[in-house]
């Protein structure tokens, strides 16, 4: 049996869970869109696992990323991270979601 998760279901599940502080509303929208695109590109159905997603992805500001990953201030943070992991940019924001590595 399969249940289709809509964008609203996806966001609301996170926002009403113990992981409500992990992602912003805009971040959850970007993350949902990323998974939708990944499904379309691969033809594979992705199982929604709130705990796995919360443990595998993090939303941070550019400054937090620079500090957490010791990225020199002269290096473009997004470009650097894209060489090492999945980066999901959040529209109109100074925050991004990365797949933790």
**How do residues 34-70 score in pLDDT, each as one tens digit?**
999 999 999 999 999 999 999 999 999 999 999 998 9
Above 80 in pLDDT, residue 2?
Answer: no
Above 70 in pLDDT, residue 1?
Answer: no
How many whole angstroms separate alpha carbon 52 and alpha carbon 24? 17
pLDDT digits (tens, 9 = 90+) for 92-101: 999 999 999 8
**In the chain, % of residues over pLDDT 90:** 90
Pairing, β 95-99 against β 87-89: antiparallel
How many whole angstroms separate alpha carbon 50 and alpha carbon 44? 18
Do 50 and 19 meet the contact criterion of CB atoms below 8 Å apart? yes
10: how many CB neighbours lie within 10 A of its CB? 20
pLDDT score, position 60:
96
Above 90 in pLDDT, residue 33?
Answer: yes
pLDDT score, position 14:
97
Q: Which residue reads 């470009």 in tokens?
A: 79
pLDDT score, position 74:
92
Do 54 and 22 meet the contact criterion of CB atoms below 8 Å apart? yes
42: how many CB neighbours lie within 10 A of its CB? 9
């Amino acid at each position: 049996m399969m249940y289709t998760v809509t964008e609203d279901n996806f966001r609301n599940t996170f926002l009403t869970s113990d992981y409500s502080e992990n992602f912003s509303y805009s971040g959850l929208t970007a993350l949902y869109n990323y998974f939708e695109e990944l499904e379309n590109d691969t033809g594979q159905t992705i199982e929604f696992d709130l705990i796995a997603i919360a443990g595998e992805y993090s939303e941070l500001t550019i400054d937090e990323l620079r500090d957490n990953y010791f990225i020199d201030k002269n290096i473009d943070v997004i470009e650097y991270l894209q060489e090492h992991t999945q980066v999901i940019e959040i529209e109109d924001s100074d925050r991004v979601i990365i797949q933790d590595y």
